[in-house]
Protein backbone atom coordinates (compact mmCIF):
# COMPACT_ATOMS: atom_id res chain seq x y z
CA UNK A 1 0.00 0.00 0.00
CA UNK A 2 1.39 3.23 -0.99
CA UNK A 3 0.65 5.80 1.53
CA UNK A 4 -0.41 8.89 -0.14
CA UNK A 5 1.40 11.86 1.17
CA UNK A 6 -0.79 14.16 3.12
CA UNK A 7 -2.08 16.76 0.90
CA UNK A 8 0.03 19.72 1.37
CA UNK A 9 -1.87 22.71 2.30
CA UNK A 10 -1.47 25.33 -0.31
CA UNK A 11 0.90 27.93 1.01
CA UNK A 12 -1.19 30.76 2.16
CA UNK A 13 -0.33 33.62 -0.01
CA UNK A 14 -0.91 36.94 1.60
CA UNK A 15 -3.60 38.80 -0.21
CA UNK A 16 -2.23 41.59 -2.25
CA UNK A 17 -2.26 44.83 -0.48
CA UNK A 18 -5.25 46.83 -1.51
CA UNK A 19 -4.16 49.28 -4.05
CA UNK A 20 -4.80 52.83 -3.04
CA UNK A 21 -7.82 54.19 -4.74
CA UNK A 22 -6.87 56.30 -7.67
CA UNK A 23 -6.99 59.93 -6.90
CA UNK A 24 -6.97 59.32 -3.19
CA UNK A 25 -4.16 61.16 -1.66
CA UNK A 26 -2.76 60.33 1.68
CA UNK A 27 -4.82 62.21 4.16
CA UNK A 28 -2.88 65.25 5.07
CA UNK A 29 -3.28 66.06 8.65
CA UNK A 30 -4.36 69.59 8.60
CA UNK A 31 -5.39 71.05 11.84
CA UNK A 32 -6.94 74.44 12.02
CA UNK A 33 -4.71 76.64 13.96
CA UNK A 34 -6.13 77.35 17.31
CA UNK A 35 -5.70 80.74 18.66
CA UNK A 36 -5.22 80.67 22.32
CA UNK A 37 -7.19 83.29 24.00
CA UNK A 38 -5.73 84.78 27.07
CA UNK A 39 -7.99 83.64 29.79
CA UNK A 40 -9.26 86.14 32.21
CA UNK A 41 -8.41 85.22 35.73
CA UNK A 42 -11.26 83.52 37.44
CA UNK A 43 -13.05 85.70 39.83
CA UNK A 44 -13.07 84.43 43.29
CA UNK A 45 -15.42 85.33 45.99
CA UNK A 46 -13.65 87.57 48.33
CA UNK A 47 -14.94 86.51 51.64
CA UNK A 48 -13.35 89.48 53.23
CA UNK A 49 -15.64 91.72 51.28
CA UNK A 50 -18.75 89.89 52.32
CA UNK A 51 -18.35 90.34 56.00
CA UNK A 52 -17.50 93.20 58.16
CA UNK A 53 -16.17 92.69 61.58
CA UNK A 54 -16.95 95.51 63.88
CA UNK A 55 -15.25 95.02 67.13
CA UNK A 56 -16.76 91.78 68.34
CA UNK A 57 -19.74 91.72 66.06
CA UNK A 58 -19.87 90.49 62.52
CA UNK A 59 -22.11 91.96 59.92
CA UNK A 60 -22.79 90.83 56.40
CA UNK A 61 -22.44 93.37 53.67
CA UNK A 62 -24.45 91.43 51.13
CA UNK A 63 -27.94 90.18 51.31
CA UNK A 64 -28.25 86.48 51.74
CA UNK A 65 -30.19 84.36 49.31
CA UNK A 66 -33.60 83.51 50.74
CA UNK A 67 -33.62 80.27 48.82
CA UNK A 68 -30.16 78.99 49.56
CA UNK A 69 -29.96 80.26 53.03
CA UNK A 70 -27.00 81.28 55.03
CA UNK A 71 -23.68 81.61 53.41
CA UNK A 72 -25.07 82.33 49.98
CA UNK A 73 -24.82 85.94 49.17
CA UNK A 74 -26.56 87.83 46.48
CA UNK A 75 -24.43 89.54 43.91
CA UNK A 76 -25.00 93.21 43.89
CA UNK A 77 -25.87 94.47 40.45
CA UNK A 78 -26.98 97.81 39.27
CA UNK A 79 -30.66 97.17 39.54
CA UNK A 80 -30.89 93.73 41.00
CA UNK A 81 -29.52 91.24 43.43
CA UNK A 82 -28.76 87.83 42.07
CA UNK A 83 -27.82 84.58 43.67
CA UNK A 84 -25.10 82.88 41.73
CA UNK A 85 -26.01 79.58 43.25
CA UNK A 86 -29.66 79.17 42.35
CA UNK A 87 -30.27 82.16 40.13
CA UNK A 88 -32.68 83.84 42.43
CA UNK A 89 -33.02 87.46 41.47
CA UNK A 90 -34.66 90.36 43.12
CA UNK A 91 -34.95 93.66 41.46
CA UNK A 92 -34.21 96.66 43.49
CA UNK A 93 -36.47 99.61 42.94
CA UNK A 94 -34.87 102.55 41.30
CA UNK A 95 -33.61 105.01 43.77
ZN1 LIG B 1 -29.67 81.06 45.93
Compute the residue count for the chain.
95
pLDDT, tens digit, 9 for 90 and up, residues 30-89: 777 888 888 888 877 677 788 888 888 988 888 899 999 888 999 989 999 999 999 999
Q: How far apart are CA 50 and CA 63, in angstroms?
A: 9
Does the predicted TM-score (pTM) go above 0.85?
Answer: no
Query: Distance, CA 70 to ligand 1 centroid (Å)?
Result: 9
Bigger pLDDT: 72 vs 5 = 72
Q: How far apart are CA 73 and CA 82, in angstroms?
A: 8
Query: Distance, CA 85 to ligand 1 centroid (Å)?
Result: 5
Query: Distance, CA 39 to ligand 1 centroid (Å)?
Result: 27
CA distances from 47 to 8, 22, 37, 52, 54 (A): 85, 67, 29, 10, 15
CB atoms within 10 A of CB 57: 7
Query: Distance, CA 43 to ligand 1 centroid (Å)?
Result: 18
Locate the domains of the chain by residue range: 62-95
Is the confidence at residue 2, as pLDDT, over 90? no
Query: Distance, CA 84 to ligand 1 centroid (Å)?
Result: 6
Amino acid sequence: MSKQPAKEAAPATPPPAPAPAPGAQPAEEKKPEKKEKPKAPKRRVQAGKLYKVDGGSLSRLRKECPRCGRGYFMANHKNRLTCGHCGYTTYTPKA
